[in-house]
Structure 1
């Protein structure tokens, strides 16, 4: 199973929805689980859509999994890419120094250097905005169930 470096967990208390929906269809437990699972996929796809793309590694690493215990149903959406938190939250200005060599060098540099002052970068949230749409997606899927 994947370990997430950046991710979020959503929990939906489906008891109130189930009570109301059981009056409509009778066996809502399966229907509510289906609505939560479709919501999970929607949130995963939204996070992928919002993820900035350079190589595509971050976007393709976003996965989700269903979670349940007793009558509680939920899901996790996340990524195991080590730089995902820096993309989501941004990075403060900092100094980069070599860890295994005496100097830093990269293609295009005029010469090796002892340190580099990184200016920092603003966050480009992709996971949190997607997760904020959970309720909207869930309600849309419940409406489809009610409309059957």
Structure 2
């Protein structure tokens, strides 16, 4: 049993394991909050259901993770078109057929030109901001700090 800066190797391993367990619990708490507080209206439920929280082991202990597993999660977080990172309207064209159709449309259309996009409806960053003080307190408690 060697010592690393006054801490035994065994104690360091236990601390890292405890940090991962704590991070995973906090990540799951954030996942629950994000899923129940997401500001968008569900159509299929895949974006809300695709929010994943937990922890990943690292060489320094753990990293808390909160992410979308669905590709369109990025559009909800960042917005699209004029409201998104590109800041410009875009064209919507069919990729699997020759026309587009949606409920309420008068007829199929070949494209939607210069669509302005949609505003961002973020939940990941607001959830992380809301939980950052609780995360800090939990880590301090784990290691006996104030």
Q: TM-score, normalised by structure 2?
A: 0.65
In structure 1, runs of 5+ residues without a counterpart are: 1-21
Which of 73, 79, 87 does residue 76 from structure 2 map onto? 87
Name the structure 1 match of 2:22: 35
Deviations 1:54-83 (A, max 9, x none): 132211221223212333221322222121
Aligned residues: 124
Distance in 2 (alpha carbons) for counterparts of 1:40 and 1:100: 37
- Would you identify which runs of 4 or more consecutive aligned residues in structure 1 move more than 3 Å? 30-35, 142-147
| 1:122 and 2:119 matched | yes
| 1:132 and 2:120 matched | no
Name the structure 1 match of 2:86: none
Query: Is the contact between residue 42 and residue 137 of structure 1 (CA under 8 Å) also seen in structure 2?
Result: no
| 1:68 and 2:35 matched | no
Distance in 2 (alpha carbons) for counterparts of 1:88 and 1:60: 15
In structure 2, runs of 5+ residues without a counterpart are: 1-6, 82-88
Q: TM-score, normalised by structure 1?
A: 0.65
Which of 54, 68, 71 does residue 42 from structure 2 map onto? 54
| 1:107 and 2:95 matched | no
1:14-25 pair list within 5 angstroms: none
Residue 143 of structure 1 deviates from its aligned partner by 6.3
Aligned Cα root-mean-square deviation (Å): 3.0
